[in-house]
Every structure is written in structure tokens, then in C-alpha cells.
Chain A
């Protein structure tokens, strides 16, 4: 099993640019989560999907953030326009649901200058 795959691993961009983060969950997992992690705020849930449908997006900071899951094997998190305060590590995670644990990808380290 390849695990959860995220790309890119690192992204450095200038303020105002569009950023797209990508995630491939573990095959067969029904749930996909996007988290953001900073030193100050820890791991924050942004949005999660069940069977490709967004269930809870209340953690999405503002309209500049959007997430899609067009099929069971792919999801994107887009920031447009990006701002320096968006700098963080963004993790994607998937799970079977029930009491199964989350499996995280390696994360994307985003730096907005």
C-alpha cells in the first residue's frame, strides 16, 4: 500500500498567487480530510469528505480556500489568492471510517512570501 500521497512536498510562492495542493488517498478509504498545521494553532481541520462529498467545511478559513474531490482517488485544496498567513504545513489524511485511524500523507510545506 502506497499510503496517502500528497504533492508537492514543498511550495514557495508569492503573495497573490494561486496555490493548488493535491492528495491521493489510500484506495478504499471512504473519508478524506484536509488539515493545516502551524506552531501557534496546531492541527486544524479544514474540510473533510465522505464518498467524495464535502461533509464539513466549517474549518475553511475564508472564501480564498476551496477544496474538491472529483473522484475517490483524488482531491485538491486551492488557495486563491494566497497570503503570507497561509504559510503552514497542509496534511491530507484518509480513513475507512468507523473506529479506523487516520492515515496521513507526508504533507505540503507552503511558504507564501
Chain B
């Protein structure tokens, strides 16, 4: 199976801090990339897609480096409500099938404290 690796954390940061997560993937044929957020005892929810040119959504910035096979998520001005686990997701084509599948990293836990 193709691997997606993340630092499990936890990352403990104070409110207002900037924090960055990295994720590496092993399949060079990966097609699409996403960051999901999962709150304790809840389902994962899409935070943002990751585009080749990088993209920003408010305090969140996602970057993709295909050459080095990693993606990153930057959170600026951390809020208490940002405390969650952040999952890196890679979509890749299954050879000779015409189909794609998704692989999730195990997630990085973020704890934002007052």
C-alpha cells in the first residue's frame, strides 16, 4: 500500500501562534491532496483541498511540493477552536484499473491553549 506519513504530535501551542504540519507521501503518481480535520469522537471533515500553486483560506494555507512529495498546512493566529487532529489525504490512481483511491495519514494532533 502507498504510504502517507505525518508527525503524530501533539503540537501544543498558545493562542495566536503559527503552527505548521507536514505530510509526506510515497506515490509519485498521486493525483489530488486534501487536509481533513477531525474533532474528538467525530467524523473527519474536509478542511481544504491542496492545489499545485498553493492555496489559502483565511488563516489556513496549504502548499504542495511534488518534487519532494510533501504537502503542508500552515495555521496562523491559532484559536482554541483549532484544537483537533489534522489528517493528510492523498488520492492516487490504481494502476491498470481506471480507478483512484484515497489514503489517509494517521493525523497530527493540535492542542491550542489559552
Contact present for B32 and A55 (CB under 8 Å) = no
Which residue from chain B places its CB closest to the CB of A101 in the assembled complex?
Answer: B46
Instruction: Tell me the bound Cα distance from A55 to B101 in angstroms.
Output: 10
| CB-CB contacts below 8 Å: B68-114 with A | 87, 89, 91, 94, 97, 99-107
Contact present for A48 and B49 (CB under 8 Å) = no
Q: Could you say which of A50, A99, A105, A106 contacts B32, with CB atoms under 8 Å apart?
A: A99
Chain B interface SS verdict (over half)? strand
Chain A interface SS verdict (over half)? strand
List of B residues within 8 angstroms of A43 by Cβ: 44, 87, 104, 106
What count of chain B residues pass the 8 Å CB interface test? 23
Contact present for B99 and A91 (CB under 8 Å) = no
Contact present for A50 and B99 (CB under 8 Å) = yes
| With A55-B97, A56-B94, A99-B49: A45-B102 Cβ-Cβ less than 8 Å | yes
B59 interface residue (CB < 8 Å to A): no
Contact present for B105 and A104 (CB under 8 Å) = no
Interface residues of A (CB under 8 A from B): 33, 35, 41-43, 45, 48, 50, 55-56, 91, 97, 99, 101-107
